Amino acid sequence: MKQEVTLRQSLTLVQVVALGLAWMTPMIYFSVFGIAYDASKGMITEAYSLSIVAIFFTAYSYSIMAKIFPGSGSSYTYVKKSMHPIPGFTVGWAILLDYLFSPIIACLTFGIYLHAQFPAIPSYVWIILLNIILAVVNIAGIKFSASLSKLFVLFQIIFIALFCGYLFKGLSGVDNMVVPFTHMDASLPTLLAGASLICFSFLGFDTVSTLSEETINAKKTIPRAIMLIILIASILYITTSVLIQMRFPHLAFDNLDSAGFELMKLAGGATLGAIFTTVLIFAIFTQGLTSVTSVSRLMYVLGRDSILPKKFFGALHPKFRTPVNNIVLVTIISLLALVISLDMAVKFVSFGALTSFAFVNLSVIIECYIKRKQRSFKQTFQYLVFPLIGASFIVWLITLLDVQALTLGCVWLVVGVAYYLYRTRTSREARESTTNSIFPATAAMETEFK
């Protein structure tokens, strides 16, 4: 009998956290700094604090569902098992949009930054090169990817600590220092607007739920990893924000998109700016690496469940025990980075992630509070109040997306539902045809009876 090939269960808590942080990319703090600073009117610490409180509830919902359903399908599995296969597929299709376009964003930004550093080499060369490297590393196995991610995430944390050291050193020369939360110059709506943008700095904590079947003791490890990722990111972002506000009470940037680089030069001159660019390139690489890992696992689960063609998407390489077909397909799709704009790719990611977040919060209420009737005073907060707060905030964020993002996202969902209905109908007809061919007399009697 041919032995079934399964995913290799080898990831530890540290490795899972490293992969989650690599996808999240702590350096994204500086990529969105200018936009977030402008939107919050300089109240960056206060805006980050609000976003952390808001995103905590969704992270908590993910940790609950990861404990109940420790499979690699992430939100697709949670919603399918707690609600129904149709909303489960819809959420899986939405998060697929997020996961498919994340490697595209990584390749696109990698090409932009390296072309800026080496103008003689076209950006498409860097995009193609990164695509090939990401495919090879992912095919080699999840453990190798985790080891690389851990190393490059460590680089990012060390750099952020170095940057904070520069800020702290410069505090002695600051006159009229402003301590965050003591001078609230911005209104609550302004802070909420800043927080809505900043929430995207936390996207990625959910991707570790796609690694459940490759994680040792996933029921405990994945929920812990999710909360640890949020905690580590929160400490990094809040510490950095407090020191920036104290060191530079008033900031103005020539270009909001490059505000992070301008901030580096203000704090540490050209040397820190050069180090910043180098670390950012490493960060983009690891984000691309973990993005390919996540989407290939989600596609594998959809294939294994016969939502996508099982023979192709549900196959694992017998030696590497990785979904090689999916990795190669994602690599080909990621070549869209050669033609698509960064703005368009970000819109796809945002819609997919937020749709998934909203449904995961609702799945906690349905599974725990309604189905399992866990309704004690404490459980009411855990399984009703907290998920409702999380869902409400996420729905509000969805309403803040522009018309184009909402339109593109809805078109993607309509195409997905149409495909699901076609796939379901085809499968049903195939089963009926098989039954009729095996039991023709029974089929004839059923027809006569009808």
230-266 burial, b at 16+ Cβ within 10 Å, e below that, comes to: bebbbebbbbbbbbbbbbbeebebeebeebbbbbbeb
Secondary structure letter of residue 11 according to DSSP: B
> What pLDDT score was predicted for residue 440?
56
Q: Which 3 state secondary structure label does DSSP give 215? A: strand
* Averaged pLDDT, 53-82: 89
* Averaged pLDDT, 390-416: 87
Residue 387 has pLDDT above 60, yes or no: yes
Q: Lowest mean pLDDT: which of 206-215, 311-320, 383-392?
A: 206-215
In single-letter form, the type of residue at position 418 comes to: A
Dist. CA 184–CA 50, nearest whole Å: 14
* Averaged pLDDT, 182-211: 78
Average pLDDT along the chain: 86
342/151: higher pLDDT: 151
Residue 442 has pLDDT above 50, yes or no: no
- CA triple 115-118-123, angle to 5 deg: 25
Closest CA to 283 of 152, 383, 412: 152
Dist. CA 333–CA 72, nearest whole Å: 22
In single-letter form, the type of residue at position 387 comes to: P
Tokens describing residue 50: 């609000």
In sequence order, the 6+-apart residues with CB closer than 8 A to the CB of 92 are: 73, 75, 76, 79, 80, 298, 302, 307
In single-letter form, the type of residue at position 193 comes to: A
The answer to whether residues 96 and 299 touch, using CB atoms and an 8 Å cutoff, is: yes
> What pLDDT score was predicted for residue 449?
38
Burial of 45 (0-12, 13-18, 19+ CB in 10 A): buried
> What pLDDT score was predicted for residue 431?
65
> What pLDDT score was predicted for residue 436?
59
Residue 383 has pLDDT above 50, yes or no: yes
State the residue for tokens 């703005």.
343
* Averaged pLDDT, 86-94: 90
State the residue for tokens 């990319």.
25
Residue 322 has pLDDT above 60, yes or no: yes
The answer to whether residues 127 and 110 touch, using CB atoms and an 8 Å cutoff, is: yes
* Averaged pLDDT, 223-239: 95
pLDDT band at 433 (very low <50, low <70, confident <90, very high): low
Closest CA to 276 of 155, 360, 449: 155
Residue 210 has pLDDT above 60, yes or no: yes
Q: Lowest mean pLDDT: which of 134-148, 171-185, 248-262, 379-393?
A: 171-185
Q: Which 3 state secondary structure label does DSSP give 43? A: coil
Closest CA to 51 of 184, 214, 223, 241: 241
> What pLDDT score was predicted for residue 438?
55
Distance of CA 251 to the CA centre of its chain: 30
> What pLDDT score was predicted for residue 167?
92
Half-sphere exposure of 139 (CA within 13 A, CB side): 17
H/E stretch holding 389 reads helix 386-399
Residue 376 has pLDDT above 90, yes or no: yes
257/119: higher pLDDT: 119
- Taking CA atoms, 449 is separated from 262, 431, 441, in Å, by 79, 20, 12
Q: Which 3 state secondary structure label does DSSP give 73? A: coil
pTM, two decimal places: 0.82
> What pLDDT score was predicted for residue 132?
94
Dist. CA 286–CA 27, nearest whole Å: 11
* Averaged pLDDT, 261-271: 89
Distance, first Cα to last Cα, the chain: 42
